[in-house]
């Protein structure tokens, strides 16, 4: 077995009713037992909701706008991915995190109920980023084409159906966004919308600063807005995942920094697909006080 064999499209298996990549399921024990520290910061999202964007914002806030420092390593090294399986030579997320000095910033896509209990027991701060379902599923569709560890996405029509049937990796988008929304007042959760970040990045970055209790002068905030813009991040090798081998993330198929827009879904949903999706969405989200914008 050479490394190329190690990375194949993993099937999904269930953990407490949530479909996850097989190697994640195989090492579920250490993930469930993960020991959070009180000063850990967790960035939680459904896949493709703007995780990397928020990670870059948080890191730049914590280094007080020092761009050199933010360039010290790629995103996934600076802020390890909790549930990621070992991808040789990289150890698993849990193993990586043992050696990270406090305060740690940790990424997860786990739905609320699968987040290790120690995060809640320690009252850790959590930043949740949510993105409207239509842009989220389009982004995920392109990602599953280029990410060679995720199941084959197949044709768009079927992929969209799988999303609606809540069968994609990390499970139901609907439950994911709603549960964190409902829990935000019970825990130390800052809930941020991708669409709000696009509309007024400075305003949303200020919310994150307040949450992290970091004060920065206006010119540093401006610098962070610029450094975390789509155009700059797309060209930043420490933020655009170009350091990950193309055997895992094939950016010739689709770049990780793909479009970064609100409303890009309109290029992929047919009118009929949009109508069916909206009707199902209304039924599925009925009674929730959570509202998204699909354009700004």
* Per-residue interface string for the shown chain with ligand A3P, residues 63-102, x marking contact by CB under 6 A: ----------------------------------------
Select which of 13, 109, 187, 280 is catalytic.
109
Question: How remote is the C-alpha of 155 from its chain's centroid?
Answer: 23
Q: Is 257 in the site for ligand A3P (CB under 6 A)?
A: yes
30 vs 112, which CB is nearer to ligand A3P?
Answer: 112
- The correct pick among 104, 161, 259, 284 for binding ligand A3P (CB under 6 A) is 259
Q: Is 260 in the site for ligand A3P (CB under 6 A)?
A: yes
109 vs 125, which CB is nearer to ligand A3P?
Answer: 109
Using CB under 6 A, which of the segments 11-19, 160-168, 185-193, 259-267 binds ligand A3P?
259-267
Q: Is 176 a catalytic residue?
A: no
Q: How far is CA 126 from CA 54, 136, 208, in A?
A: 12, 20, 11
d(CA 92, CA 31) in angstroms, rounded, equals: 10
Structural contact between residues 196 and 208, judged by C-beta atoms closer than 8 angstroms:
no
Closest CB 105 distance from ligand A3P, rounded Å: 14
* Per-residue interface string for the shown chain with ligand A3P, residues 140-159, x marking contact by CB under 6 A: --x-----------------
Q: Is 42 in the site for ligand A3P (CB under 6 A)?
A: no
d(CA 154, CA 161) in angstroms, rounded, equals: 11
Strand partners, 130: 193
The secondary structure element, H or E, covering residue 41 is strand 41-45
Burial 203-212 (b: 16+ CB within 10 A, else e): ebbbebbebb
Structural contact between residues 43 and 55, judged by C-beta atoms closer than 8 angstroms:
yes
- The correct pick among 92, 96, 139, 172 for binding ligand A3P (CB under 6 A) is 139
DSSP-assigned states of every residue in 147-170: BTTSPP---HHHHHHHHHTT-STT
d(CA 206, CA 212) in angstroms, rounded, equals: 10
Using CB under 6 A, which of the segments 7-15, 18-26, 42-50, 150-158 binds ligand A3P?
42-50
Which residues are designated catalytic?
Answer: 109
* Residues in contact with ligand A3P by the rule CB under 6 A: 45, 47-53, 135, 139, 142, 228-230, 233, 257-260, 264
């Amino acid at each position: 077995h050479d490394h190329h064999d190690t990375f194949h499209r993993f099937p999904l298996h269930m953990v407490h009713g949530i479909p996850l990549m097989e190697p994640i399921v195989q090492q579920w024990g250490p993930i469930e037992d993960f020991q959070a520290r009180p000063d850990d910061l967790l960035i939680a999202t459904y896949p493709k909701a703007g995780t990397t964007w928020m990670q870059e914002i948080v890191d730049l806030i914590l280094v007080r706008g020092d761009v050199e420092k933010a360039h010290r390593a790629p995103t996934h090294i600076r802020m390890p991915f909790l549930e990621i399986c070992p991808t040789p030579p990289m150890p698993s997320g849990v193993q990586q995190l043992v050696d990270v000095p406090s305060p740690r910033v940790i990424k997860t896509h786990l739905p609320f109920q699968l987040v290790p209990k120690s995060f809640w027991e320690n009252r850790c701060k959590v930043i949740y980023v949510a993105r409207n379902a239509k842009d989220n599923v389009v982004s995920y569709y392109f990602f599953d084409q280029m990410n060679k560890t995720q199941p084959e996405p197949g044709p768009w029509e079927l992929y969209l159906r799988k999303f609606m049937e809540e069968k994609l990796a990390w499970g139901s988008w609907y439950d994911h966004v709603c549960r964190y929304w409902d829990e935000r007042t019970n825990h130390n959760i800052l809930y941020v919308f991708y669409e709000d970040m696009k509309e007024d990045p400075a305003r949303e970055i200020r919310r994150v600063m307040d949450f992290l209790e970091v004060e920065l002068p206006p010119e540093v905030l401006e610098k962070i807005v610029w450094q975390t813009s789509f155009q700059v991040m797309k060209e930043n090798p420490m933020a655009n995942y170009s350091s990950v081998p193309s055997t895992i993330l094939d950016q010739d198929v689709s770049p990780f920094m793909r479009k970064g827009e609100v409303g890009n879904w309109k290029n992929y949903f047919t009118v009929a697909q949009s109508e069916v999706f909206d009707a199902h969405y209304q039924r599925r989200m009925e009674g929730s006080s959570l509202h998204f914008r699909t354009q700004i």
